[in-house]
Amino acid sequence: MSFQQGLSGLNSTSKNLDVIGNNIANASTYGAKSARAEFASLYAASLNGAGGGNENGIGVTVATVATQFTQGNITGTGNPLDLAINGSGFFQTQNSVNQTLYTRNGQFKLDKNGFIVNNQGNKLMGYAADTSGVPVQGKMVPLQLPTGGIAPVATSKNTIQFNLDAREAITKPVAGSATNIDFTDQKTFNKATSVTMFDAKGQDVPVTYYFQKTAADTWDVYATANGVTVGGTAAAPAPITTLQFSADGATLVSPSPMPTFDIPAGTSSAGASTLPITGITLDMGGSTQFGSTYGVTNMVQDGYTAGELTGVTVDETGHLVARYSNGQTKTAGLLQVANFRNPQGLQALGGNAWSETFASGQPLSGTPGQGNLGVLQSGALEDSNVDLTAELVAMITAQRDYQANAQTIKTMDQSMQTLVNLR
């Protein structure tokens, strides 16, 4: 026996304790992956080519420190910019020198310029979206939320579904007048319902529809906007359309196609001037005339006012969705994740990041959930995959190994001392 074996054992066991200590230190680090020291025996080269059982090992070395890329538990946080990958893959980030780094730690936040960054200031990478909210796939760029609001959109379609009560009486014209309806006299119409539309400035325009039964299965529809008649004149309002139902009341026979109408410029209740809204399609498909209580079951119009950015969410496929104060949403980008043929070939850089190497191969990028890539979970983080109990047991074993190797050196020292004392 020589000192070589004991020294190599001490060095290797010391490195093993370093690896175990690092695992324990990162047991609470989100996205951290445990590592293990893998050992290899050492043998001296034989110049005379001797083989068989005559070769004696000269110790041990740490062949590699292998990172274990197993899935960690996912913990909910409630923060929409906390992201976890459930499955294979890495977030792609860009540092200050435009180097692409890879991480499993999804603790992201917004910087002052609207970029999504991690605690090291590295920017999350993906595809930016155009003005209509469609991701432009091509070269990946740092994802940035729009700093401006969303412009208003004028109403162009109003969809209504309702049931008109077939038991209602036919409404007669206003007595002693040329008009068929008086919007202030409920006796001149059967039912009414309201909706708020928007002009090109995003100003709200209250619109009320009046349903007047004129014959069996036949109803005239009138409208007012900002309290002003739509169709005809104030003295002689005209219906914007006439509804004709089938005999059983289950089908709206006419109008077909659906009618359009225009809302003139007006004055809001606050005294502001509203713009005209033209070409509004009134879709009443699916409405019925049964012998049951009147009720509106659907009322949707496609206009909206201006809105400011209020938040952001990320869905499981990586779409970055901006939410606005007017209730609208818009895709602001598409996050991309990457995987490697040999993740253990990645180089650890610290800060929960790895970089590509020749051994890892080139990154295989894609949308979360695509192929063998994992899906995203917003408002959650991936815990470290370190098993603290197993690491503590491994530490005890490594400590015993260290003591045993130290004992071999002590024994060799005693043997050498015995030889010296032979004189």
Per residue in 295-320, pLDDT (tens digit) is 999 999 999 999 988 888 898 889 99
Cα separation, 188 vs 192, in Å, equals 11
- How large is the average pLDDT for residues 81-107? 94
Asked whether residue 1 carries a pLDDT value surpassing 70, the answer given is: no
Predicted local confidence at residue 414, as pLDDT: 82
Q: CB under 8 Å to 234, separation ≥6 — which residues?
A: 228
Predicted local confidence at residue 150, as pLDDT: 87
Contact 205, 274 (CB under 8 A): yes
Predicted local confidence at residue 245, as pLDDT: 96
**Pick from 6, 13, 60, 22: nearest CA to 402:** 13
Q: pLDDT tens digit string along 30-80?
A: 999 999 998 888 887 655 555 555 667 788 888 889 899 999 999 999 899
Domain spans, the chain:
3-70+385-420, 74-150+309-382, 157-301
The mean pLDDT value of the chain amounts to 89
Predicted local confidence at residue 243, as pLDDT: 95
Predicted local confidence at residue 46, as pLDDT: 58
Q: pLDDT tens digit string along 264-289?
A: 999 988 888 999 999 999 999 999 99
Predicted local confidence at residue 56, as pLDDT: 75
Cα separation, 413 vs 420, in Å, equals 11
- How large is the average pLDDT for residues 380-395? 93
What predicted TM-score, i.e. pTM, was given to this entire model? 0.75
Predicted local confidence at residue 138, as pLDDT: 82
What's the pLDDT band for 15 if we cut at 50, 70, 90?
very high
Predicted local confidence at residue 48, as pLDDT: 55
b/e burial code for range 58-92 (CB count within 10 A of at least 16 → b): ebbebeebebebebbeeeebeeebbbbbbebbbbb
Asked whether residue 224 carries a pLDDT value surpassing 80, the answer given is: yes
Predicted local confidence at residue 50, as pLDDT: 53
Identity at 338, one-letter amino acid code: A
Sequence-ordered alpha helix ranges (H) in 109-163: none
Q: Torsion angle of alpha carbons 98, 100, 103, 106, nearest 10°? A: 50
Predicted local confidence at residue 423, as pLDDT: 64
Asked whether residue 179 carries a pLDDT value surpassing 70, the answer given is: yes
Cα separation, 222 vs 35, in Å, equals 74
Predicted local confidence at residue 211, as pLDDT: 96
Contact 362, 339 (CB under 8 A): no
Predicted local confidence at residue 177, as pLDDT: 60
Q: Which CATH architecture does the domain made up of 157-301 adopt?
A: Sandwich (2.60)
